[in-house]
Amino acid sequence: MTAAGVRDAHRATSSERPQVVTALCNAFFDDRIYRWLVPDDAQRRRSAAIFYSRFVDACWPHGGVYAAGAGAGAALWVPPGKQLVPDEQAETFRRELVQSAGDDAASARMAQLFQLVDDNHPVDACWYLAFMGVDPSAQGQGIGTRLLAAVLTQADRDQMPAYLEASSPENQRLYERHGFQTLRELTVADSPAIYAMWRPPTDLR
C-alpha cells in the first residue's frame, strides 16, 4: 500500500492490527466514560489493551476494522445483519471484557454500561459504529472524517442507516456534522451521559 493509501481510510491489513489497537487505546485513555469505568490510570491502560484487542478480534471477521492516518486512527464497524460475535461466544466475550476492567467495582460498572447499551440498541438493520478513535497527537487532521466516510458512503449507496453511541459532547458534534441525529441520552448510576445517535441514509438520486 502506498503512503497516501495508508493515510486514507481503508480496511486494516493484518500487519496494521497492532496499530489499530494502539490507536484506540490512546484515543480513549482520557475518555470520560472510560475514566468513569476505570478511574485508576495504570489499570485503565491495562484494561484498554485487553478491551480493544478483543473488540478488534470480534470485528475482524466482518471486515469491519478500518485504519487511517498511517495508524493514527481506527474505526470498528459491525455491518447490517451481523452480530458482533456468535451467540455461542457472546457470554465468554462479555465476561472477558468485564473482567478487563480490573476490580469488582469497575467490572460492575462496565457490566451495567453494557446492559444499558444493549437495551437501547436498534432492532432495525443498520451499520453500527462500535468505536472510532484518533490518537490525540493526530487529532484535527480530518482522520475521523475519512474513517466515517469510508463506510457512510457505502451505507448511502445501499440506503442503509447507521447507529453509534457518542461518549462526549465533542464527539456528538462531530457525528452531527456527518448526518447523525441524537435519539436520546443514556446514563447508568452516576455515569456521564452517552448519546445514542442515528443516521438515516442520504438519498443519492
Residue with cell 465476561: 95
Per-residue pLDDT at 3: 47
* Dist. CA 152–CA 177, nearest whole Å: 13
- Minimum mean pLDDT among 7-11, 43-47, 55-59: which range? 7-11
Taking a C-beta distance cutoff of 8 angstroms, is the pair 53, 21 a contact?
yes
More reliable by pLDDT, 7 or 28: 28
Per-residue pLDDT at 205: 61
Per-residue pLDDT at 7: 74
Q: Is the pLDDT reported for residue 2 higher than 60? A: no
Q: What is the mean pLDDT of residues 97-125?
A: 96
Domains in the chain (CATH in brackets) are 3-199 (3.40.630.30)
Percentage of the chain surpassing pLDDT 70? 96
- What is the per-residue pLDDT across 133-171, written as a single tens digit (0 to 9) for each? 999 999 999 999 999 999 999 999 999 999 999 999 999
State the amino acid at position 180 in one-letter form.
F
Residue with cell 466515517: 148
Mean pLDDT of the chain: 94
The string of DSSP letters for 23-87 reads: HHHHHHTT-HHHHHH---HHHHHHHHHHHHHHHHHHHGGGT-EEEETTTTEEEEEE-TT--SS-H
- What is the per-residue pLDDT across 176-199, written as a single tens digit (0 to 9) for each? 999 999 999 999 999 999 999 999
Percentage of the chain surpassing pLDDT 90? 93
Per-residue pLDDT at 8: 87
